[in-house]
């Protein structure tokens, strides 16, 4: 949601314009050069409906957004959520956000063919795994205005020793794999480690992997 708000409200762009002195030149109390759209008028497409996808659904619903979900599980009993096939999600979403693991059938799932099915105003967000997105195809799509832009928190190679040109595109925002790294999330991870050690000492098995 932070990625969506940053992109839709043009936070990075307007911050730079203020630093360049453009606001100081104006006679009015504000100025705007790019349209800001209310989230309540947008359709968000969520691919992957695990714990993160469900949390994003609840947040999107609180903003009054129409929510489309693509997942293998049946969620037809969920209110305010419309389960659709992937092509429908591509065709109808203003925002598409990925929340699924990297597997053979998900690698490069966002590619030239899928991008061509999206609307020209689509914002793509990837906070899952970098290789879900074909960077070459994404760059081409943004250069040709096939989609509006992308926010990427993950890349195929991390850290990017030889950065892909997509990183520097004006319609792309990139953060260094920090979507997971909130203070509360890191504290929860540490508490989980402590609990696992304590359970092991006491001979208790928690989340065994066979």
Active-site residues: which are they? 129, 158, 177
Identify the H or E element spanning 88: helix 86-92
Q: What is the C-alpha separation between 94 and 117, in angstroms, rounded?
A: 12
Question: Closest by alpha carbon to 151, among 184, 179, 192?
Answer: 179
Contacts for 47 with CB less than 8 Å, ≥ 6 apart: 53, 69, 70, 71, 86, 89, 96, 97, 98, 99, 100, 109
- Terminal-residue alpha carbon distance, the chain: 36
Question: CB–CB of 106/92 below 8 Å?
Answer: no
Residue 153 DSSP one-character state: S
**Cβ-defined contacts of 50-56 (< 8 Å, 24+):** 50/99, 50/100, 52/99, 53/99, 53/100, 56/1, 56/97, 56/99
């Amino acid at each position: 949601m932070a990625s969506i708000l940053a992109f839709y409200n043009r936070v990075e762009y307007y911050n730079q314009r203020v630093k360049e002195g453009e606001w100081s030149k104006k006679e009015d109390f504000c100025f705007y050069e790019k349209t800001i759209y209310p989230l309540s008028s947008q359709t968000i497409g969520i691919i992957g409906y695990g714990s993160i996808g469900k949390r994003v659904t609840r947040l999107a619903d609180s903003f009054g957004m129409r929510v489309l979900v693509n997942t293998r599980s049946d969620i037809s009993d969920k209110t305010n959520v419309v389960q659709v096939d992937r092509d429908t999600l591509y065709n109808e979403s203003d925002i598409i956000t990925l929340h699924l693991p990297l597997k053979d059938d998900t690698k490069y799932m966002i590619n030239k063919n899928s991008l061509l099915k999206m609307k020209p105003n689509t914002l793509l967000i990837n906070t899952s795994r970098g290789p879900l997105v074909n960077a070459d195809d994404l760059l081409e799509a943004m250069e040709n205005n096939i989609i509006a832009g992308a926010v990427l928190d993950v890349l195929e190679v991390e850290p990017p020793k030889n950065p892909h040109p997509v990183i520097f595109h004006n319609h792309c925002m990139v953060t260094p794999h920090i979507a997971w790294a909130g203070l509360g999330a890191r504290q929860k991870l540490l508490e989980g480690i402590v609990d696992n050690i304590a359970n092991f000492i006491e001979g208790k098995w928690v989340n065994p992997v066979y």
